[in-house]
Amino acid sequence: MEFLRKPLHVQNLAVADLPPEMIVNILSRLPVKSLCRLRCVSKSWLALIRDSRFVKMHLTQTQRENLFIETKNCSFYSIDLESITYDVDKVDAVKLDFDIEGREWNPWNPLLCYSNGLLCIVLEKCFWLYNPSTRECKQVKFQGDPKLSLGFGFSYVDSIDDYKFVRLHYLGRIIVEIYSLRKNSWKSIEHDLSNIMYDFYGTMGFPLNGAIHWEFDNVYNYQNPRVIVAFDLFEESLKTLSLPNTIVGSRFVGIFGGYLCVECVELRSIRCDISHISEIWVMKEYGVKASWTRILTVNTVQFANLLCYLKNSNIMMFSSLERLAFYNPEYRKFKKIEVDGIQMFSVYPYMESLVSPNYENHFTTEDQDFLEYWF
C-alpha cells in the first residue's frame, strides 16, 4: 500500500502497473476513513468505492468493529476498537457531528438498532439511518400513529440485497409495518399470534439470519412463559424460538458473538452483600433449542450489558452507564475502563462500513464502463 502514500501523479504511475483485481483487493482492506479520501483520486475510483460489489467486499474483508456512544445530553461519539488493548485504562471517544432535535435519552429502553454499519435511531414520528463511518444520514417518516408502536427492528436481507425497518403493533393481532430502503416505501401486513402477549421489557429487536428477534410473553405456557419471536424479513412471516428450559427468569439480551443470547440473573446474599450472579447462554445452532449453551457465569452487579469480544481474544467487553470494562474469563476478573470526558452513556457495537443510507444511483454510463474495468 506504499503507493497510496505517494503524490497523486506518482500514484497514477504505480496503479497503472498493477492488475485491477489487485488494486480492488488492496483498497477493500483499507479503513473507511482512508477510502473516503481516496474517492477524490479519480472518477473511476469514486465509482469503484461507491459500487455495491465493492461495498460488500470491503465489509467482508475489514471486519473493523467500533463502539457507538450516546450520552445523556444526546450527543454521539465513536470509539475505534482496533485501537484498544487489554492493558489500557482509559479510551478516547471521537465526537460525531450529528445532532437529532427532539431525541430523548433512555438507557432502560434504547431506541437504536444497527446492521452492517448503519445505525437506526428511532424518534416518535420518524427514524434516522446514520453511518458513523461515512457521516451519511437519511430521515424516514413513520406512517400511521407512532404511539401505537410496541417494537421495532432494522436489518440487512442478503437474499434480496435490501435493508428493512419493521414496526410491530398489537391490537388483538400483530400488525407489522415494513419499510424497504431499496424501494423507499412502506407496507403493512397482519399476523395472528393469539397465544402471545407482548413483553414490555424492551422494544428493540435484534437482527440475525435475515430475521429480527424480540422477547414475548406466552401467557398460556406457565413453565416457559417467555419466547423469542422472530420476523423473517424475506418471507415476511413470524415464528417462535424457545428459551432453554433450564433457565428460570431468563431474559433475551440480543446477539453476542454471532449467536442469540439470553441472560439469567440470580440474586445471592453473601455475608450481607447482595450479588447479581449472571449466566450467559447462547444458541449455538440457530433455531435448535437443544443447542443453547452456557458460556459464562459472572457477577454483573456493576456491569450489566455484555457488548462484544475484544478482537482476536476471549476477553469480553461489558458496559454500565458510566464506564466500560474488560472481563477476563480465565481469571474471572473485571477491569474498568474510563471513557475520557464522557459520563452517563449507552453503548452499541457496530461494524465500520461504506454502506450508504441512500440507495439512489449516482453512476453514469461512463462510470459503469469504469466499473467493468475494475471487476
Rounded to two decimals, the pTM is 0.85
* 109 located within any domain: no
Q: What is the pLDDT of residues 273-305, one digit of tens each?
A: 566 778 889 999 999 989 999 998 887 656 668
Query: What is the domain range of residue 27?
Result: 2-58
Rounded to the nearest angstrom, the gap between the alpha carbon of residue 189 and the centroid of all alpha carbons in its chain is: 25
* 14 located within any domain: yes
Angle, helices 43-50 vs 20-27, to 10°: value is: 60
Give the CA count within 13 Å in the CB-facing half-sphere of 152.
Answer: 22
* 37 located within any domain: yes
Q: What is the pLDDT of residues 93-142, one digit of tens each?
A: 999 988 887 787 777 677 888 999 999 998 888 899 999 999 999 999 98
Supply φ then ψ for residue 210, to 5 degrees: 70, 20
Single-letter code of the amino acid located at 166: V
- Picking from 89, 86, 88, 91, the residue whose alpha carbon sits closest to that of residue 330 is 86
* 48 located within any domain: yes
Task: Please give the Cα distance from 292 to 285 (Å, whole number).
Answer: 8
* 23 located within any domain: yes
Supply φ then ψ for residue 318, to 5 degrees: -115, 170
* 18 located within any domain: yes
Q: What is the pLDDT of residues 222-243, one digit of tens each?
A: 666 678 889 999 999 888 888 8
User: What is the pLDDT at residue 180?
Assistant: 94
Rounded to the nearest angstrom, the gap between the alpha carbon of residue 12 and the centroid of all alpha carbons in its chain is: 37
> What's the structural domain count of the chain?
1
- Picking from 186, 185, 183, 162, the residue whose alpha carbon sits closest to that of residue 175 is 186
Rounded to the nearest angstrom, the gap between the alpha carbon of residue 242 and the centroid of all alpha carbons in its chain is: 23
* 36 located within any domain: yes
Q: What is the DSSP letter of 19?
A: -
* 338 located within any domain: no
